[in-house]
């Protein structure tokens, strides 16, 4: 393994480390994109999510003065043959921890492949284009460029709390979250619509776990596009701001193939924007795969969203280590 400088240490994280991990991630975000883009809730989620054991899947690095210098972790909420790793380091002074943490993560990926029952395992990682040292470390570890994601945002200043009318034949309304059947149909629309994308499938229990572990859930910001026969043509799932933040967030927007190009996606977004604005939220954000064949980015541009930043996605494969 690449050596750490003298006096530097590596250990596993605990939930007591969340504040200093968040400070590290915010410092990294500010250096890369100009502002923080992570919450304490998200740190906790990455440490405790499905198929994640922080005592085996995550490391912290500290410099000789005991200051946090790096954080690495794995994410595979679905258990399928594709994982995602992240390595954050404190700008400049944390760089010596970058390659050692990456090497630890890659060794762990081979073990995770075996534990999750996969012989060949895809591993992905993301980097902002200006993070040249990290990109060099990734390519040196065998990763190759795959595609880009965009983090999009729109101001809600001047947005009315009343949404425009949806296309004829469609009603946009809040989800009936206490109706188990409707919640299953809501999730089924997400899974069916996302089959056209690179999004990993998630079963109903995993999907529920994703939002039930959030600090709060505002179901009045979840919407369905209902057809005249009671079917669901599309859905929009929001996520509440974490840690007292105020940016609204679109977690999923899904429109079934037969109903695309009819203005339903835009209608769901505008209904959500109106709901956010009525609550006084100043802006809305979301993430989008720029390689999505449904051309989702074009829709988001069309309703007034613009990229805050773009991130490169890199990929490699490992073979299971069955010890």
CA 260 vs. chain centroid, Å, equals 24
- CATH 3.40.630.30 domain range(s) in the chain: 9-149+312-319, 158-281
13-34 residue pLDDT tens: 999 999 999 999 999 999 999 9
Write b or e for each residue in 24-46: b if 16 or more Cβ atoms lie within 10 A of its Cβ, otherwise e: bbbbbbeebbeeebbbbbebbbb
Position 243 pLDDT exceeds 80 = no
Position 293 scores a pLDDT of 75
CATH architecture for the domain at 9-149+312-319: 3-Layer(aba) Sandwich (3.40)
Task: Report residue 303's pLDDT band, with 50, 70 and 90 as the boundaries.
Answer: very high
307-316 residue pLDDT tens: 999 999 999 9
| C-alpha to C-alpha distance for 58 and 69, rounded to whole angstroms | 14
The residue assigned the tokens 């999907």 is 207
Could you write out the DSSP letters of every residue in 304-317? T-EEEEEEEEEEEE
Task: Report residue 197's pLDDT band, with 50, 70 and 90 as the boundaries.
Answer: confident
Element (H, E) at 284: strand 283-289
49-88 residue pLDDT tens: 999 999 999 999 999 999 999 999 999 999 999 999 999 9
**Model pTM score:** 0.91
Position 190 scores a pLDDT of 97
Position 242 pLDDT exceeds 80 = no
Position 244 scores a pLDDT of 64
| C-alpha to C-alpha distance for 62 and 11, rounded to whole angstroms | 8
Position 305 scores a pLDDT of 97
**CATH topology assigned to domain 158-281:** Aminopeptidase (3.40.630)
């Amino acid at each position: 393994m690449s050596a750490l400088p003298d006096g530097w240490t590596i250990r596993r994280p605990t939930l007591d480390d969340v504040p200093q991990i968040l400070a590290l991630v915010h410092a990294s975000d500010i250096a890369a994109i100009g502002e923080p883009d992570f919450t304490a809730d998200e740190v906790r989620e990455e440490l405790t999510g499905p198929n994640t054991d922080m005592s085996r899947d995550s490391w912290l690095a500290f410099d000789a003065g005991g200051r946090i210098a790096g954080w690495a972790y794995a994410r595979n909420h679905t258990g399928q043959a594709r994982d995602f790793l992240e390595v954050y380091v404190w700008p400049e002074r944390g760089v010596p921890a970058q390659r050692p943490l990456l090497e630890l993560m890659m060794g762990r990926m081979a073990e995770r492949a075996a534990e999750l029952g996969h012989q060949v395992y895809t591993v992905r990682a993301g980097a902002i284009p200006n993070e040249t040292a990290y990109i060099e470390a990734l390519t040196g570890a065998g990763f190759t460029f795959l595609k880009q994601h965009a983090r999009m945002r729109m101001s809600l200043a001047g947005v009315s709390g009343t949404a425009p009318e949806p296309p004829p034949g469609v009603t946009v309304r809040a989800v009936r979250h206490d109706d188990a059947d409707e919640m299953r149909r809501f999730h089924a629309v997400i899974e069916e619509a996302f089959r056209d994308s690179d999004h990993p499938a998630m079963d109903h229990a995993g999907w529920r776990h994703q939002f039930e572990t959030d600090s709060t859930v505002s179901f009045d910001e979840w919407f369905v596009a209902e057809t005249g026969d009671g079917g669901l043509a599309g859905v929009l799932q929001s996520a509440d701001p974490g840690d007292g933040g105020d940016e609204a967030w679109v977690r999923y927007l899904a429109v079934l193939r037969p109903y695309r190009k009819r203005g339903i996606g835009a209608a769901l977004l505008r209904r959500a924007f109106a709901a956010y604005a009525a609550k006084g939220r100043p802006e809305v954000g979301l993430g989008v795969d720029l390689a999505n064949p449904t051309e989702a980015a074009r829709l988001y541009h069309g309703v007034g969203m613009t990229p805050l930043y773009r991130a490169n996605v890199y990929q490699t494969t490992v073979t299971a280590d069955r010890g």
